[in-house]
Amino acid sequence: MNTYSGLNLNQDKATKPQTVQMVRQGEATLYWFLLIHYKTLILKLLVSLIKQSKGQMPYPCFYKRRPLQK
């Protein structure tokens, strides 16, 4: 009798032993390297922008419309 794991087909494929074994070995992939590299790069850039603007965000109107210039 087959039991339902609660996962869809793609999620079930992702939990196969081969995938789990690769993760356990700790093999770093290019994707993870780029993700970590660019994440730290973006954070450093944001920190430098905030420092340059003396603690204020450079574009404070992310969530509302900017006023029209006349």
pLDDT per 10-residue tile (average), the chain, 70 residues: 58 54 61 81 83 63 61
CA distance 40 to 1: 49
User: What is the pLDDT, as a whole number, of residue 30?
Assistant: 77
At residue 50, the pLDDT reads: 77
Q: Is residue 5 part of a domain?
A: no
Report the alpha-carbon distance of residue 48 to residue 3 in Å, rounded: 53
Non-local (6+) Cβ contacts of 58 within 8 A are 49, 50, 52
**17 part of a folded domain:** no
Could you tell me if residue 23 is inside a domain? no
User: Domain range for residue 43?
Assistant: 28-70
CA 8 and chain centroid, separation: 23
Residue 15 lies in a domain: no
Task: Find out whether 7 and 15 touch, Cβ atoms under 8 Å.
Answer: yes
Number of separate domains in the chain: 1
